[in-house]
Amino acid sequence: MQRIGVFVCWCGSNIAGTVDVKAVAEALKNEPGVVYSANYQYMCSQAGQNMIIEAVKEHKLTGIVVCSCSPRMHEATFRKTAEAAGLNPYMVEIANIREQCSWVHKDMATGTEKAIILGKAAVAKVNLNAPLTPGESPVTKRALVIGGGIAGIQTALDIAEAGFPVDIVEKNPTIGGKMAQLDKTFPTLDCAACILTPKMVDVAQHEKIRIFSYSEVEDVTGFVGNFDVKIKKRARFVKEDVCTGCGACVEKCPMKKIPNEFNLGMNNRTAIYIPFAQAVPKVATIDANACNMIKNGKCGICSKVCTAGAIDYTQKDEIISEKYGAIVVATGFNPISMDKFDEFAYNQSKDVITSLEFERLTNAAGPTAGKLLRPSDLEHPHTIVFVQCVGSRCASCAEKGKEYCSKICCMYTAKHAMLTRDKYPDTEVYVFYIDVRTPGKNFDEFYRRAVEEYGVKYIKGMVGKVSPEGKKLKVQASDLLNNKQIKIDADLVVLAAAIEPDKSARPLATKLTASMDTNDFFTEAHPKLRPVESPTAGVFLSGACQGPKDIPETVSQASAAAAKVIGLLVKDKLKGNPCVARSNELMCNGCSSCERVCPYGAITYEDKEFRMPDRTTKVRRIAKVNPAVCQGCGACTVACPSGAMDLQGFANNQIMAEVDAICK
């Protein structure tokens, strides 16, 4: 028989406001096995934990039930407490009387009654708990960073600096990501290239970093410390180690009318191309869909002009298998499609552009060499209208756009408006805003400068319709402060398109079994306390894949993720989860049902000799679980017809005891 201590937490008024904690402690005192019961304001505090430790010693407790917040919050805390008190940490069960009781029920009587039942279920379970010892597994001391934007670059550099090898997988031909496309950065107006490209070079030159550009993650198996990853290196038809990046091929390529992705299609590139001058790796890539040689076998000019002999039209996609201890997701963002917002005429006029396109228009390396010219006729625009919140902050019932605030638009629009007025004082610049959101260091000051020093006209209101007519864009908008509908003949309209996670994130999350929210942003292990970890152990989050972020925030989070990865990789061994499946060999039929449902291949079979009661021996096929590989899902336990397979920590009799306690 266990000697169980019950500890009921008030969580200040969070629990005690709706649950009579004293009554709960009192009621649970009479449950079988319970020898001690107490309540306290904050069980998770040092004082609360000490109280548990004291009680364990004083009452010789063998099991602990904490009635408190969700086990997802403090189960680990109380397990450590138990360990400190000399108990096996797995002799602790949590009754979730906050998230699943006090916070969702209104009156005291109901809350208390339910809390008691949840407590009883936990007591019933602890009665059947057994000490568990986690197995250990070695850690592969190499990290994988998926995505080579500023987030991935920073994470990779930080991990590599700590001495661990890092591989970056980038789906584009070059690393650099969105930041490489930007002109200046707010609020200090550094040139993005000036601060990014040195980092890109650092990455390229770092002996601990390998870059797999033009590559994608194909498959991920394994678990924290021991991931097996297959990386698909797409054929770029250029030998990376031979190409010198001289650009002779690009110059001579006859296929010159391919929309240039780097400039968002505002100009053209050739079929063989280097995305931009500072690309890393600086190697050419052949766009197989555009290359005449690859499609029809006719051309081959690039091969002729390449003095290094780097062109290889027969190159095939290559699969690289590598082991990693940790994986960092840094897949970033994209502006959303403007198709559902054509009241702004994005699809009807070349002179309605997104803010990212505006970045390229003002970038010295962009399609207009940095001169602000409107795309339709390359004339200088005199009246520019910026529209904020296009597709952001949309209610789900409006069935278009995103519900969240994209966070970066207010600041980059202020930057665009300011820079335009600075460079071209003859332009009129209007910004239509709903709210201006500038919570950041020097952010509001920056926005005010745009208004006060640069004369940008901020108008509170939204644009309702943009009608291209002749050379003008007729903008109809509301000015809420003056209660007027205003009409502006603009030359250029810039839409602050909402941002969304990259489309590759969803399939990647499935491969990683990492969870995502409804917007396809990766979910953190805890929104406040574990913001750079995914709930899947060993998978970390860096940058905008977790939520909209500006550059300073992205870089901080990238470094934070790196710190977490380093903390993992310095360990030689990892303690596993002891809640794994175990087969009772006496009951096992050897039928293979469990093996077939195991997603990890953790189950194997062996022939074992059994001594029978009549002193004969009998050889039977029985299942064996590899505890280092088993992740503890429990699929096998249900597939097993005889019940030989059970899950430690969530055993059949434990769950049934909980059922019984609830249904009493």
Give yes or no for residue 478 binding other proteins (CB under 8 A).
yes
Minimum gap (Å) between residue 39 Cβ and other proteins: 20
Residue among 179, 178, 202 nearest 192 (CA): 179
Euclidean distance between CA atoms 389 and 494, whole angstroms: 11
Euclidean distance between CA atoms 231 and 511, whole angstroms: 12
Number of residues assigned to the chain: 664
Minimum gap (Å) between residue 471 Cβ and other proteins: 10
Give yes or no for residue 407 binding other proteins (CB under 8 A).
no
**What b/e sequence results for 565-595 when a residue is b if at least 16 CB atoms lie within 10 Å of its CB, and e otherwise?**
bbebbeeeebebbbbbbbbeeeebebbebbb
Euclidean distance between CA atoms 393 and 402, whole angstroms: 6
Give yes or no for residue 470 binding other proteins (CB under 8 A).
yes
**What b/e sequence results for 205-214 when a residue is b if at least 16 CB atoms lie within 10 Å of its CB, and e otherwise?**
ebebbbbbbb
Residue among 456, 474, 455 nearest 465 (CA): 474
Residue 42 or residue 605: which is nearer to other proteins going by CB?
605
Instruction: Name residues whose C-beta falls within 8 Å of residue 520's C-beta, 6 or more positions apart in sequence.
Output: 500, 501, 505, 506, 509
- Judged by CB under 8 A, which stretch of 229-237, 245-253, 326-334, 613-621 contacts other proteins? 613-621
Binding test (CB under 8 A) with other proteins, winner from 395, 426, 529, 609: 395
Minimum gap (Å) between residue 485 Cβ and other proteins: 4
Minimum gap (Å) between residue 214 Cβ and other proteins: 27
Euclidean distance between CA atoms 221 and 393, whole angstroms: 37
Give yes or no for residue 111 binding other proteins (CB under 8 A).
yes
The owner of tokens 């989070």 is 557
Among residue numbers 323 through 362, which ones bind other proteins (CB under 8 A)? 339-343, 345, 347-348
Among residue numbers 641 through 660, which ones bind other proteins (CB under 8 A)? 641-644, 647, 650, 652-653, 655-656, 658-660
Contact by Cβ (8 Å): 143, 164: yes
Binding test (CB under 8 A) with other proteins, winner from 485, 556, 570, 572: 485
Minimum gap (Å) between residue 599 Cβ and other proteins: 4
Among residue numbers 259 through 318, which ones bind other proteins (CB under 8 A)? none
| Residues in a beta bridge with 49 | none
Give yes or no for residue 463 binding other proteins (CB under 8 A).
yes
Binding test (CB under 8 A) with other proteins, winner from 516, 541, 625, 629: 516
Residue 93 or residue 359: which is nearer to other proteins going by CB?
93
Among residue numbers 10 through 49, which ones bind other proteins (CB under 8 A)? none
Q: What are the strands of the beta sheet with 326-329, ordered from one edge?
A: 209-212, 166-169, 143-146, 326-329, 539-541
Minimum gap (Å) between residue 97 Cβ and other proteins: 10
Give yes or no for residue 465 binding other proteins (CB under 8 A).
yes
- Judged by CB under 8 A, which stretch of 49-57, 240-248, 324-332, 617-625 contacts other proteins? 617-625
Euclidean distance between CA atoms 174 and 566, whole angstroms: 26
Among residue numbers 50 through 109, which ones bind other proteins (CB under 8 A)? 70-73, 96, 98-101, 103-106
- Judged by CB under 8 A, which stretch of 178-186, 281-289, 360-368, 637-645 contacts other proteins? 637-645
Residue 115 or residue 169: which is nearer to other proteins going by CB?
115
Give yes or no for residue 118 binding other proteins (CB under 8 A).
yes
Binding test (CB under 8 A) with other proteins, winner from 305, 308, 587, 628: 587
Minimum gap (Å) between residue 562 Cβ and other proteins: 25
Binding test (CB under 8 A) with other proteins, winner from 383, 504, 515, 626: 515
Integer-rounded Cα radius of gyration of the chain = 31
11: left (phi over 0), alpha (psi -120 to 50) or beta: left
- Judged by CB under 8 A, which stretch of 29-37, 289-297, 436-444, 510-518 contacts other proteins? 510-518
Among residue numbers 355 through 394, which ones bind other proteins (CB under 8 A)? 389, 391, 393-394
Binding test (CB under 8 A) with other proteins, winner from 332, 381, 590, 627: 590
Question: What CA dihedral angle connects 590, 592, 594 and 598, to 10 degrees?
Answer: 140
Residue 245 or residue 535: which is nearer to other proteins going by CB?
535
Contact by Cβ (8 Å): 237, 286: yes
Question: What CA dihedral angle connects 25, 29, 31 and 32, to 10 degrees?
Answer: 140
Give yes or no for residue 529 binding other proteins (CB under 8 A).
no
Binding test (CB under 8 A) with other proteins, winner from 399, 426, 611, 613: 399
Burial class (CB in 10 A: 0-12, 13-18, 19+), 434: middle
DSSP 8-state secondary structure symbol assigned to residue 397: G
Tokens of 514: 């990492």
Binding test (CB under 8 A) with other proteins, winner from 296, 425, 518, 609: 518
Among residue numbers 562 through 581, which ones bind other proteins (CB under 8 A)? 579
Euclidean distance between CA atoms 353 and 495, whole angstroms: 6
Euclidean distance between CA atoms 460 and 479, whole angstroms: 6
Burial class (CB in 10 A: 0-12, 13-18, 19+), 356: buried
Binding test (CB under 8 A) with other proteins, winner from 210, 382, 620, 624: 620
Among residue numbers 194 through 253, which ones bind other proteins (CB under 8 A)? none
Binding test (CB under 8 A) with other proteins, winner from 461, 501, 547, 627: 461
- Judged by CB under 8 A, which stretch of 188-196, 256-264, 456-464, 551-559 contacts other proteins? 456-464
Burial class (CB in 10 A: 0-12, 13-18, 19+), 365: middle
**What spatial distance separates the first Cα and last Cα of the chain, rounded to whole Å?**
21
Residue 7 or residue 341: which is nearer to other proteins going by CB?
341
Minimum gap (Å) between residue 193 Cβ and other proteins: 34
Residue 323 or residue 460: which is nearer to other proteins going by CB?
460
| Binding-site size, other proteins (CB under 8 A) | 111
Neighbours of 359 (CB within 10 A): 22
Tokens of 145: 């960073």
Burial class (CB in 10 A: 0-12, 13-18, 19+), 104: exposed
